[in-house]
Amino acid sequence: METIQVESIDKGFIATVERESGQQVAQCYQCGNCTAGCPLTFAFDIPVHQIMRLLQVGQKDRVLRSHAIWLCATCETCTTRCPREIDVARVMDVLRILSRRAGTVSEQGVRAFYDSFLDSVKSHGRLYELGVIMKYNLQTKRPFTDAALGPKLLGKGKIHLLPGTIKGAGAVKEIFKRFAHKRRNEG
Amino acid sequence: MKAKRYAYYPGCSQHGTAAEYEVSARAVADKLGITLVEVEDWSCCGSTPAHTVDHVLYGALAARNLALAEQMKLDTMVTPCPSCLIALKSARVMAQDKEHLQELRELIDLPLKGTIEVKSLLQVIFEDIGLEALTAKVKQPLTGLTFAPYYGCILTRPPQLAQFDDAENPVSMDKIIAAVGANAPDFPFKTECCGAAFGLAKRQIVQTLSAKVLAAAEAIAADAIVVACPLCHQNLDLRQEQVNAFRGARSRMPVWYITQVVGLALGFSPHEMGLDKHAVASDAILAKWETHLKEHAQ
């Protein structure tokens, strides 16, 4: 069995996760139900119940550097089945947010996709699907990812070659700006 | 019957890769006496990417749409997309908290109450219209066809937020399929994950998970899988060839939106329902249906 030194318990980290998620991590009694139902566990480096355990003992670095938190699909199975009624998916979400802040994102591709998506929303107010794919491919230097899907969509009116920008695109951009400003002021 | 009026939030996919979901949703709503009034100048709900950045940003991107819908003086907003649904519902829950409500108002710079009800189009068809009214309008029952009802993750989860159907064993689509004359056998993978938004960045996740869903549908001898989510559709239909390559299969499993199933039964043609817009052709299932209808007519 692995032992953890008391000195390595980061209580501040536990408090941050609890505050931001609204969940009490000490409630978890390690039954493993979340992991049993987790469809992504095959791809995780650390199964979700162990993420919860590492959290309880404040292992900030290991948790925030894990691949698991970025491979979670937020399918909500763990949250639905937790006998302690912990919103586990919410905890995983908060851990992703914290790993962004800490600069410890383990899955750059996943993050690049999310960022390309949000950049598109910021520019056009809505998602411009082709733009997201192109930007993602450029960022990850894999120019032909999913290029084979193009012919399945073209000619069916299912993919647009140019973005459709909404009237309120400026208003949406303002939301991003105010949000960034607010977070800067906080801290 | 007086038409029920709803504020309508299509979501970005409906204008792109889920164009046939949009066409069939509008046609079916119209036929069932549901008036969908599109929220003017709606914007993206933020979806999965936003909640990996910050919950307040996620809330604000969705809340702008709640605020626009509230100006329409309608009591319910409906969306066909589960990802939009969960974003809009989460923002609504957030707005119940005074401090958060103030935060959201400041970010979107619009009046916001957070009182408008949010429902999926599936819920509106199942609960507000109901099976009886639906059955009464069936013109061409889908006799002889077997569908695998696939709900995916977030139509009914988490239950506190979804407040619809059963989280572990949802039956709304099963019952709608039965109401239009087709078979919906028990489908053990009905709430398993298809791989969600990982198609681009982590394709193997989608291949692994969608392979299981496709295999499960084959195991119950389904003629098609039925979905209510643009992303599930993308993974199971558009990426089916990628999934086949991964699992060494040659599956040609059609994937239909629930609105296409209903629309066909209400008398629309396959073309009107956009059944020719999928990556996997529906020729075989449509031919099977035609044969059944002919036999029935004799």
Rounded to 10 degrees, the C-alpha dihedral A4/A7/A12/A13 comes to -30
Query: Which one-letter amino acid corresponds to residue B117?
Result: E
What local confidence, expressed as pLDDT, does residue A164 receive? 83
On whether both B80 and B160 belong to a single domain, the answer is no
Sheet of B255-257: strand order equals B147-149, B224-227, B255-257
A187 assigned to some structural domain: no
On whether both B169 and B91 belong to a single domain, the answer is no
On whether both A14 and A54 belong to a single domain, the answer is yes
ipTM at complex level: 0.95
The neighbouring-strand residues paired with A172 are: none
What local confidence, expressed as pLDDT, does residue A150 receive? 87
pLDDT over threshold 80, residue B3: no
pLDDT mean across residues, chain B: 96
Contacts of A110 in chain B (CB under 8 A): 198, 201-202
Please give the average per-residue pLDDT across B52-78, as a whole number: 97
Q: How many domains does chain B have?
A: 2
On whether both A80 and A30 belong to a single domain, the answer is yes
On whether both A71 and A25 belong to a single domain, the answer is yes
On whether both B115 and B160 belong to a single domain, the answer is no
On whether both A19 and A86 belong to a single domain, the answer is yes
Residue B107 has its nearest CB partner, among A77, A168, A178, at A178
What local confidence, expressed as pLDDT, does residue B44 receive? 97
On whether both B59 and B151 belong to a single domain, the answer is no
A56 assigned to some structural domain: yes
On whether both B83 and B194 belong to a single domain, the answer is no
Contact at CB, B196 and A39, closer than 8 angstroms: no
Burial letters B174-205, b for 16+ CB under 10 A, else e: bebbbbbbbbbeebebbbbbbbbbbbbbbbeb
Query: Which one-letter amino acid corresponds to residue B60?
Result: A
Could you read off the pLDDT of B67-78 as tens digits, one per residue?
A: 999 999 999 999
CATH of the domain at B197: 3.40.50.11810
Give the pLDDT band of residue B2 (cuts 50, 70, 90): low
N-terminal to C-terminal alpha carbon distance within chain B = 34
B133 assigned to some structural domain: no
On whether both A42 and A128 belong to a single domain, the answer is no
B131 assigned to some structural domain: no
Cβ count within 10 A of residue B161: 18
Q: Is B82 on the interface with A (CB under 8 A)?
A: no
**Range of B223's domain?**
140-297
N-terminal to C-terminal alpha carbon distance within chain A = 40
A183 assigned to some structural domain: no
On whether both B109 and B227 belong to a single domain, the answer is no
What is the distance between the alpha carbons of residues B51 and B63, in angstroms, rounded to a whole number? 13
On whether both A10 and A76 belong to a single domain, the answer is yes
Last residue of a domain, one of A76, A102, A128: A102
On whether both A14 and A89 belong to a single domain, the answer is yes
Contact at CB, A118 and B13, closer than 8 angstroms: no
Output phi, psi for B160, to 5 deg: -65, -30
On whether both B146 and B112 belong to a single domain, the answer is no
A28 assigned to some structural domain: yes
A153 assigned to some structural domain: yes
A-proximal residues of B, 106-125, CB under 8 Å: 106-109
A133 assigned to some structural domain: yes
Give the closest residue to A91 by CA, choosing from A34, A40, A20. Answer: A20
Best B40, B42, B44 member to test A by mutation, with max A CBs in 10 Å, is B44
On whether both B90 and B189 belong to a single domain, the answer is no
Beta strands in A81-153 (DSSP E): none
Last residue of a domain, one of A102, A137, A162: A102
CATH of the domain at A83: 1.10.1060.10
Best B9, B15, B47, B52 member to test A by mutation, with max A CBs in 10 Å, is B52
Residues ≥6 apart with Cβ < 8 Å to B232? B150, B152, B194, B255
On whether both B98 and B226 belong to a single domain, the answer is no
Percentage of chain B beyond pLDDT 70 is 99
On whether both A96 and A17 belong to a single domain, the answer is yes
Last residue of a domain, one of A102, A128, A148: A102
Last residue of a domain, one of B60, B90, B121: B121
On whether both B162 and B73 belong to a single domain, the answer is no
A18 assigned to some structural domain: yes
The neighbouring-strand residues paired with B4 are: B34
Query: Which one-letter amino acid corresponds to residue B225?
Result: I
Query: Lowest mean pLDDT: which of A1-5, B171-175, B228-232?
Result: A1-5
- Mean pLDDT (10-residue bins), chain A, 187 residues: 91 98 98 98 98 98 98 98 98 98 97 95 92 89 88 84 89 97 89
On whether both B154 and B111 belong to a single domain, the answer is no
CATH of the domain at B63: 1.20.1050.140
What is the distance between the alpha carbons of residues B115 and A77, in angstroms, rounded to a whole number? 28
A66 assigned to some structural domain: yes
On whether both A85 and A121 belong to a single domain, the answer is no
Q: Which helix (H) or strand (E) holds B206?
A: helix B203-219
**Range of A123's domain?**
108-178
Q: Which helix (H) or strand (E) holds B77?
A: strand B76-79
On whether both A120 and A139 belong to a single domain, the answer is yes
Q: How many domains does chain A have?
A: 2
Read off the tokens for B247: 């699992």
Cβ count within 10 A of residue B293: 14
